[in-house]
Structure 1
Amino acid sequence: MFPGSEIYGGFAGTWDWGPLGTELRRNVVNEWTEAMQSHDNMAFLDSSIFTAAKVWEASGHISGFSDPMVVCSHCHTKFRADHLLDAMGVVADEKMTEKQINAIFDEHRTKLHCPVCGKKDFGKVVAKSLLVTSTLGRFEDEDEEVYLRGETAQGIFINYKNVLGSGMYSIPFGIAQVGKAFRNEISPRQFLFRKREFEQMEMQYFVSPKEAPEAYEEWRKERMAYYNRLGVKKEKLRWKQHENLVF
């Protein structure tokens, strides 16, 4: 792996895959794709990266897909407010409203030091959208935003009717996709685990409501067996029930 734009000083949150990394990534994608192709009722999709704003309005991303950002008033470095609080042992859910997280931040403001300059001089916490905007086909005096997709799942959902109407599939069936997604991360970190451009491999499976519980259990078993076949130890895997959705 090489830092993105390295010869010109680098560009935070971006990485270039080198020769060995490219082959490793290809092997991972091929393994996952073959696992999906083993199911007769699986369709594959390659949806557009550029997406109309209405798609993200309907999904709730524009209004709720954000991280709490705070800026040091002294050195002007941007931080995730929940990360600063977490570092001092204070739990702050990133899904909290601006009002809720500001109340917690204000309670501990006198103890919070900037990791860069050491000052205790932070502004107000604001919700920063994670969607990456584009000026594709726009002029400065136009208001409509164009977005790079924040996840590949939305391309699957908006093409559900198209795939079903192609006459090749009927419920129950799945739609799988591998492709780039983009997020305007406030503070990229943890090497490849928190960056602004990344590859996603997603599959959405569509069933009738009455068949959902049985299909869910079947896919749980299938996916666990998949990771076991790859050599991942069972004790390293666990199921997590999400109490809060992304937004």
Structure 2
Amino acid sequence: MAEPKTNELMEKIVSLCKRRGFVFQSSEIYGGINGFWDYGPLGAELKRNVKELWWTSMTRFREDVVGLEATIIMSPDIWRASGHVDTFADMMRECPMTRKRVRADQVDPVSGVVYRFTGAKAKATGFTVEKAFAFLLKKGEHPESARKKAKEFYALGSIDAGMKDLAGIELIGEATSAVENSVDFHPESNVMLSEARPFNLMFKTYVGPVESEENVAYLRPETAQAIFAQFKNVLETSRQKVPFGIAQVGKAFRNEVTPRNFTFRSREFEQMELEFFIKPDEAIEAISGTVAKPETKGHPGEPQSNWGWQMWHQYWVEERIKFYDNIGLPRTTLEEYWQKPEELAHYARATVDLLFKFPFGTQELEGIAARSDFDLSQHERFSRKPMGVFDDDLRAAWAKLDDVKKQELTKRYYEARARYLTKTGMDSEKAAKKAKEDAEGLAKGQYIPHVIEPSAGVDRLILALISNAYAEEEVTDDKGKAETRVVMRFHPRVAPIKVAVLPLLKNKPELVAKSREVFELLRREMNAFYDDGGAIGRRYRRQDEAGTPFCVTIDFDTLGEKPELLNTVTLRDRDTMQQTRVKIDELLPMLLQRVR
């Protein structure tokens, strides 16, 4: 069957999400609140499965990563150190009539009448389209309705006398198609937007009973900074050594001015972030003699002691792609985008964005950044607490180096530290002095770790999985009638429901009893669902839309109507719709093998 068109596909996905209980709009009975979403029964299970798989792959299957769960509200000094207070902003433009804001890089072209707001009182009593428009807006009309009625009033030549007291609007022009340079106008009111200016994206709150500047705090806009702030505590209590990582899954909040594309860009969301701390290349070279760098594309294999930051960066890019493949997003569905030098954050050495083709366009799922030693250095500078580590291997290796090598490595480390300190605004003399102290610390086995950061959005990943799973196909029912089957082809690992147990008839006590027995057997090991409502074909379709990979049907053969089929069930595969007979005592191990 032909694929639905992009807009149609997104509409179908949104409709299915509500109909089957994946995603609901938050506060829907009160009209909803833009940028916030609730996950229904199926969505909550899907999301839980994804987070659990990420956590397991990151921490339980690895010896070099430990976990952290930090608070949402932290000291505001953390956000000053990270730069969020001063620089975490989108460029915004504002409609001077409605006071609504839009992101400067996301203004859609408009058509029809466009206006410039003058702010002056209308002195003349003569009638104009723009005055009628302003008058109707003042009365509370929706901008779209106000535009249409203003044109009608103009055609009739009539206007309310109170128009003279309204703020003036200057008519710029009319057009039936998109107006040239119309990205300068608000898409709802068609009024010319103000100049772009920064708008901080952090939600502000207050800690304590008094709402004062001294008590200002912020809901965290990312989960990473807590990891950096707790780095020394985790290092000392976990008995880890560099290289090692700290993982965290948690809520973050960004006051997006224009949340869009369903759950893709929200104001409340979850992140899965790893901060993997590594030795600077100068320390690696002192210890190992050389620094390994990538020679080919692809996975570099098991980590080695001589890996520099480039090898670690490539390693984590490949590890993240492998994770997506394991949960049903194969490499062919992803695109790697290596940011150009001019696109990189000032502290980043390299960043790879993993992109997915959503129905509304190709967008970022995850970023894997080589962040140098910026983060720990910033917190050391602002907190005045040491964030460096002592490495006994480095101190021992340094003592064996000849003077030429010591000078070479010291110079490189000094230059890197001096560049960082200068970028922070420190004057050149102080930066040189501090960089010299840091470089001399290498001889004592001391350095500030660098970090590789794979950072993924849970909600974006859930939307990608839903988009990738959605499929429609033509099938023929038992009566030979063609129909469209909607099926969610989730990988069994992430599927919200692993198996549905369906008695053929609900009014036969012996079938129901046996079905409940099988259901109890399965639900102890996986998320199972019991359904006895409606025709069996309709129940299959409901489970197809839920993405349930397997259905188990208990029929009269299960009870021994055919003696050779006693204590067997029908196992239906979601994707192929094929049905096979399976012995009940073989059912659980067979399903466990397929859903894990």
Q: TM-score, normalised by structure 2?
A: 0.36
Q: Which moved more, 1:147-156 or 1:231-240?
A: 231-240
Q: Which residue of 2 aligns with 1:115?
A: 187
1:191-229 residue CA offsets vs partner (Å, 9 max, x unmatched): 111110001000110111123233223222222222222
Say if 1:77 and 1:116, in contact at 8 Å, map to a contact too.
Answer: no
Q: Which residue of 2 aligns with 1:104?
A: none
Q: How does 1:74-223 map to 2 (within 5 A)?
A: 74-84=97-107, 87-88=108-109, 112-117=184-189, 119-137=190-208, 139-210=210-281, 211-223=308-320
Distance 1:110 1:216, change over 3 A: closer
Q: Which residue of 2 aligns with 1:245?
A: 345
Number of aligned positions between the proteins? 225
Say if 2:250 and 2:270, in contact at 8 Å, map to a contact too.
Answer: yes
Aligned alpha-carbon RMSD (Å): 2.0
Q: How does 1:216-231 map to 2 (within 5 A)?
A: 216-231=313-328
Distance 1:72 1:221, change over 3 A: same
Q: Which residue of 2 aligns with 1:26?
A: 48
1:10 equivalenced with 2:32 (yes/no): yes
Offset at 1:74? 2.0
Distance 1:237 1:15, change over 3 A: same
Aligned-partner residue type, residue 67 of structure 1: D
Distance 1:166 1:237, change over 3 A: same
Aligned-partner residue type, residue 344 of structure 2: N
**Partner Cα separation in structure 1 for residue 50 and residue 273 of structure 2:** 13
Say if 2:206 and 2:215, in contact at 8 Å, map to a contact too.
Answer: no
**Partner Cα separation in structure 2 for residue 205 and residue 31 of structure 1:** 19
**Partner Cα separation in structure 2 for residue 246 and residue 30 of structure 1:** 33
Q: Which residue of 1 aligns with 2:123?
A: none
**Partner Cα separation in structure 1 for residue 106 and residue 317 of structure 2:** 32
Offset at 1:129? 0.3
Q: Which residue of 1 aligns with 2:79?
A: 56
- The secondary structure found in structure 2 opposite 1:193 is coil
**Partner Cα separation in structure 1 for residue 212 and residue 318 of structure 2:** 53
Task: List alignment gaps of at least 5 residues for structure 1.
Answer: 89-107
Say if 1:70 and 1:80, in contact at 8 Å, map to a contact too.
Answer: yes
Aligned-partner residue type, residue 50 of structure 2: V
1:234 equivalenced with 2:257 (yes/no): no
Distance 1:212 1:244, change over 3 A: closer
1:72 equivalenced with 2:143 (yes/no): no
- The secondary structure found in structure 1 opposite 2:329 is coil
Say if 2:259 and 2:265, in contact at 8 Å, map to a contact too.
Answer: yes
Offset at 1:109? 6.6
Offset at 1:246? 8.8
Offset at 1:115? 1.1
Distance 1:116 1:49, change over 3 A: same
Offset at 1:167? 4.7
Say if 2:207 and 2:215, in contact at 8 Å, map to a contact too.
Answer: no
Say if 2:66 and 2:238, in contact at 8 Å, map to a contact too.
Answer: no
Structure with more relative contact order (C-alpha pairs < 8 Å, separation 6 or more): 1
**Partner Cα separation in structure 2 for residue 214 and residue 239 of structure 1:** 17
Offset at 1:157? 0.9
Say if 1:148 and 1:182, in contact at 8 Å, map to a contact too.
Answer: yes
1:150-195 residue CA offsets vs partner (Å, 9 max, x unmatched): 1001111111111111152111111000000000111111111111
Aligned-partner residue type, residue 327 of structure 2: L
Offset at 1:126? 1.7
Offset at 1:75? 2.3
- The secondary structure found in structure 1 opposite 2:45 is helix
Q: TM-score, normalised by structure 1?
A: 0.84
Distance 1:121 1:200, change over 3 A: same
